[in-house]
Structure 1
């Protein structure tokens, strides 16, 4: 009986101790979590952040006894130990301490602190959490090297450290993680060669080391990855030891039989591509773009039955190009290589093809009829080749195509009417002849039409009114269209860009342009349009660029309705017309966009996404200077070559962010307004060939960005400012101002002519160059020139068709910043 009592007492004591230990353990774990919370700075209560840790972890408090129910915390169902801590997309705004309370959670299997604004280094003591299976510290701001101690976590299956600022080499100790399935170290600043020990991770299914600064050869041990389905080494500096054999790449690839995605793009490979890829029977996506691979593309590549995406752009592959039997390939990018000869008829075998890019090669001949079998094709780029002949009718069923910079001469009429709401056709820079193809008016859902830089003639048809409801961009620049610009824009409420410059258009501007309330870019330069100034365009709040230069426009540009101004205008060019009259002193008072010194990332954001980039060139005395910042916040005014009189409005000084001002070749009188000194960002100023008098304001010498100025052919007097900006100009910038002095450092010894001399002024060779350039401009863009000017602005659009690969890269080889 006494033995039974003792045994019962023992059981009671054991149970009591067990419960006490469990309760104590739970208390320790709860306290550890609270200590971890307190390791990070307490936010300002006045600026509560909905993703702040303290806001999101309100359940973490001492009054809550069950810490296993706290947000992000998970406990083992039997032992009650914390086994998972997942805090994603919250703001910790601090670093992990070397003795962080997390290390008291010894049974932790899953630690995920993704996108928590973590800073500092990864503590090496993290290697003491020996039960970890899943470790994710991605999308933070961690710095320093990857601790070698992570190699001690021999249960680890997932290691994700991507998108940080980690440096140094990949520690060879990671090769000890024999259970690792997922390893992602991409988007860091890791350097050096990849240790051969990484090849020991033969359980890997995913390996991504992309977008670091890794170099050297890919280790031969990578051939052990026979379970690997995803390999991304893109955006590094891998260079094979032997550029003629490709290093070990050719010995590695045949062993990677489980691969579904292989990305070696944007490295320094310079080898041939292996001739036999038939072993990669599970391959779905292949990205090798942005290297220097040479030789032929093996036909065996196009026999892989699972292959859907092939991106080989930006290499030095050459022909002949032949496609094997495969029906799965949907996306094929071969841009920017050395392919030549005709487009192969065998391309018709890729019956599932949706996107095809053969741009920037040297393909010749006509588009093969066999391409008509590609019934799924929706996106086609054949630009920058040497193709010729007729554009076949079957291409009009492709929703997006660009055939620019070839030698096509005609268009075969479409046999069908396409009703897609997103048609984009680019036929610019070819040799198209004849009249505007009126059957294009049947495409009522056109978004983009570019026929610029061709030889089309005749009138622009009025039937385009049927196609303007969805139209966003239309470019007819540099053709020989005549007649009037038809009044077809009543329903064009989505139109963003219109360029009909450098044609032979006459008549007046169509008043229906007033309905284009999203119009941001309007270019009518180099025509013979005869009309008064279209002040009604001021009602278009989205208008950023207005180019009316080199026409026959006339009359004053200021009236009672003009004081409203152009609030969002960035660039205006009305040069080489017949405008006259005076400008009120407050004429520029409401041009608010030019008045604010903003630093916009993209001035065309108001227009929505566009496939066209614009640059601006300004030509001074035969020297062409490019201003490519029109996409950032470039602001320019060109009123040159007209008949404006009176004083230059003082309100010009309110345009504080103006970069270019050209008022040359007019009849402005009076002083140069001192308010010009307020335009602190100005880079080019031309007031030449007017009747300006008085002194050059000395404050203009403080304009530190001023790189070009011209005050020649006026009635100026007094001393020229002695600043660096003035002293580095050419002497011609001040000539024919007999009252100016202080030019010795600029012009050297100056001979002052006899004031009574009636001898005609001799043209310098530089002036002769100016006149020759003006004559060339007249021949290029016919219009009525009402004044001799030295400079002019013209804006040309440059097409760049973006084929994005998962939002990260485009075929030109440029890598997007994450």
Structure 2
């Protein structure tokens, strides 16, 4: 009996020793884990030191930040570290493995690198594993399939690659799995069908190509949200999806799914949101026998190949708030049954083949986009002496249709309208003065390319929110309304291609937010008078093809600060906060793009820019009657991309200060009376791709540089005194250089250098901001290439 008693005693002491030693071992394991990473972070704003400041032996490790212990046993059960710059890799023998009772491990946004160690599969108690938002690489280890208790697995926003191991299907307790935003590829493993408890699955933004979706999805009966968007699936959707009776959100946008959308999808009673845009679905759209009890709130089927009419049965989705069927081939009229969609807030039917009359029940919608169809008329219903309800309408886009008749006066009764686009239609007659009632709220008015005539009325007295006004390509005449001076938020003003007859509106220089101004192809006349304000925010100006005359004032460009500075304050250009704007035609197109179009003469071609990069800065004074010298102060505008002074009567020499515009891509000085030499320093303009000096009185050598040698011979024609054109124009007869020419060239260069310095001094006198802009611009662009070309997307 002695031996058993001793054995029990030894066992008892061992248990006591282990109980006392375990906390010390776990404390040491945590400290060792901290020491596996550098103690300083590359980001000065990182919270590394703060997060680990409590991790020391002077305190109980269960009180350390991010550490949770079992209240009874004192064992570490949770480690929660977020937004800490660990800046290292998880080792295969990491001290974390000593925390055998760990049931929750969160290391998200910790700048972890390297591979996920397979040894993590030994933490058999894990319920939650979160490695979200790191820089992990390699494949998902097979061993994670050993974590049989795991309910939450988050590996999103890393750089993981390869196929998902089939062993992940062993995790039959999973309720939440996010593998989004990696480079995972191949098929979805068939073992996923074992996830009977899974309620949330996000595989978006990977490279998945397929898998047995019908059999997999049929077993995921607990699934409430499924996101497989932004992959490369090419199959059809399962014909029977009704088994997913708990599904609320289904997102499969931006894949290559084909065939029809199964009717069974719309019979799921819990379904609230469906996103299938950017696929290759085709055929007529069918919803089946929709039920008034349907919970569907958001339906996006944009950018597919649907055809035929919009089904009348859509009226069954009484809770539908957002409907996007844009960029398909739907035919016929808008079904009258849509009037029953009383919850609808946003409707986008743009880029289809719809026709007929736009029904009046749509005017109550907060956001309505019907552009790029073939609608011919607008219905206006008068009830009890007033038009249909416009109290909630804020966005109306009817651009690019075949609408005719006079300007729709019912718009004047809208008190909430923020955006109005009637462009590219056949509206005629005058713009009604009653529009003044709506301009109090309007931010954008786009009426370009119609047949509107008469004066532009004085409707802008209270238009303090107006951001853009585009009435280009109409038949408007008379003088500009002086009430435009009240548009303190104006950033884009396009009056091009009308019959306005007025002097230059220098008073617009008081609009300190004005960034784009188009007055081209009108009947403006007279000299340009310097504005006291100098258009400080202007980035693009086009006054071409008018009758402006006289000399340009010597200080004309001195206060144009925005064109001389590279520093862009994009905080003034936020995207709308409402999520219904995101990824739709309602967006402004990103932080660096105006959602406004323009057409300008660029590189000798009349070019349409559907959207404008905000870094694009241009001056077009061509086709007028300016005389005298081109001001040397043009060289202060160092960020210009395009300069066009062609088809005027400028005299004197080409200002060498143009060489200061280091990112210039197009320069057109043709059809003037310029004389002297082409400045040698222009050869240093490394971004220049279009030059035109033709039809002047220039003489002397053509600068030798790759940029000049690439120009067409016509860029120098009708300048009898030019020579050095053999490499451009071939063996033609040209005058020989003389010593006088060489000396004259040096004198002109020296003289203009002095003039440039004097103009910079003048600029400093006019405002220190210009000088700061020049210095910052020079530093910034020595290490950054300029990107200016526009993205091909517009309403036109």
TM-score of Structure 1 vs Structure 2, range by shorter chain: 0.7 to 0.9
- The range that moved more, 540-549 or 411-420, is 411-420
Contact 2:611–2:794 (Cα < 8 Å) also in 1: no
Matches within 5 A, 1:632-781: 632-751=614-733
How far did residue 291 of structure 1 move? 1.5
What SS is found at the alignment partner of 1:286? strand
Q: 2: CA distance between counterparts of 1:133 and 1:607?
A: 41
Contact 1:181–1:204 (Cα < 8 Å) also in 2: yes
Partner of 1:342: 309
> In the TM superposition, what whole-angstrom CA distance separates every residue of 1:700-752 from its partner, at most 9, and x where no partner exists?
00000000010001100000001111000000000010000000110112256
Partner of 2:80: 112
Matches within 5 A, 1:367-406: 367-406=334-373
What SS is found at the alignment partner of 1:137? strand
Q: 1: CA distance between counterparts of 2:223 and 2:35?
A: 45
Contact 2:393–2:414 (Cα < 8 Å) also in 1: no
What SS is found at the alignment partner of 2:192? helix
Higher relative contact order (CA 8 A, sep 6+): 1
Partner of 1:267: 231
How far did residue 118 of structure 1 move? 2.5
Change (3 A) 1:167 1:276: same
Contact 1:393–1:413 (Cα < 8 Å) also in 2: yes
Q: 2: CA distance between counterparts of 1:67 and 1:149?
A: 24
Contact 1:363–1:387 (Cα < 8 Å) also in 2: yes
Partner of 2:465: 494
2:511 is equivalent to residue 540 of structure 1: yes
What SS is found at the alignment partner of 1:705? coil
Partner of 2:290: 325
Partner of 2:213: 249
What SS is found at the alignment partner of 1:318? strand
2:44 is equivalent to residue 77 of structure 1: no
How far did residue 41 of structure 1 move? 5.9
Contact 1:261–1:285 (Cα < 8 Å) also in 2: yes
Contact 1:490–1:515 (Cα < 8 Å) also in 2: yes
Q: 2: CA distance between counterparts of 1:25 and 1:276?
A: 54
What SS is found at the alignment partner of 1:190? strand
TM-score, normalising length from structure 2? 0.84
How far did residue 27 of structure 1 move? 6.8
TM-score, normalising length from structure 1? 0.82
Contact 1:602–1:632 (Cα < 8 Å) also in 2: no
Contact 1:600–1:632 (Cα < 8 Å) also in 2: no
What SS is found at the alignment partner of 1:351? coil
Q: 2: CA distance between counterparts of 1:658 and 1:629?
A: 18
> In the TM superposition, what whole-angstrom CA distance separates every residue of 1:392-432 from its partner, at most 9, and x where no partner exists?
01001111010000000111115555465661010000000
Matches within 5 A, 1:48-197: 49=45, 52-55=47-50, 65-66=59-60, 68-79=62-73, 81=74, 107-126=75-94, 127-197=97-167
Q: 1: CA distance between counterparts of 2:790 and 2:254?
A: 31
Instruction: Provide the aligned C-alpha RMSD in A.
Output: 3.1
Partner of 2:242: 278
2:610 is equivalent to residue 610 of structure 1: no
> In the TM superposition, what whole-angstrom CA distance separates every residue of 1:266-317 from its partner, at most 9, and x where no partner exists?
2222222221111111011111111222222111111110001111111121
Change (3 A) 1:688 1:796: farther
Q: 1: CA distance between counterparts of 2:615 and 2:53?
A: 45
What SS is found at the alignment partner of 1:670? coil
Q: 1: CA distance between counterparts of 2:105 and 2:615?
A: 44
**The one of 183, 194, 200 aligned to 2:170:** 200
Partner of 1:780: none
Matches within 5 A, 1:788-807: 799=794
How far did residue 141 of structure 1 move? 2.0
2:202 is equivalent to residue 232 of structure 1: yes
How far did residue 640 of structure 1 move? 0.5
- The range that moved more, 594-603 or 694-703, is 594-603
Partner of 2:438: 467
**The one of 306, 325, 340 aligned to 2:270:** 306
Q: 1: CA distance between counterparts of 2:476 and 2:540?
A: 22
Contact 1:604–1:631 (Cα < 8 Å) also in 2: no
How far did residue 800 of structure 1 move? 6.7
Q: 1: CA distance between counterparts of 2:521 and 2:201?
A: 57
Contact 1:519–1:607 (Cα < 8 Å) also in 2: no
Q: 2: CA distance between counterparts of 1:35 and 1:209?
A: 29
What SS is found at the alignment partner of 2:651? strand
Q: 1: CA distance between counterparts of 2:330 and 2:575?
A: 38
Contact 2:390–2:413 (Cα < 8 Å) also in 1: no
**The one of 528, 536, 551 aligned to 1:557:** 528
How far did residue 613 of structure 1 move? 2.3
2:371 is equivalent to residue 433 of structure 1: no
2:554 is equivalent to residue 585 of structure 1: yes
Change (3 A) 1:382 1:176: same
Q: 1: CA distance between counterparts of 2:441 and 2:231?
A: 42
**The one of 570, 581, 593 aligned to 2:539:** 570
Contact 1:603–1:631 (Cα < 8 Å) also in 2: no
Q: 1: CA distance between counterparts of 2:241 and 2:47?
A: 50
What SS is found at the alignment partner of 1:125? coil
What SS is found at the alignment partner of 1:701? helix
- The range that moved more, 287-296 or 658-667, is 287-296
Q: 2: CA distance between counterparts of 1:320 and 1:652?
A: 59
- The range that moved more, 134-143 or 395-404, is 134-143
Q: 2: CA distance between counterparts of 1:70 and 1:685?
A: 65
Change (3 A) 1:74 1:148: closer
Contact 2:557–2:634 (Cα < 8 Å) also in 1: yes
What SS is found at the alignment partner of 1:124? coil
What SS is found at the alignment partner of 2:338? helix
Contact 1:296–1:317 (Cα < 8 Å) also in 2: yes
Contact 1:614–1:796 (Cα < 8 Å) also in 2: no
Change (3 A) 1:424 1:546: same
Contact 2:213–2:237 (Cα < 8 Å) also in 1: no
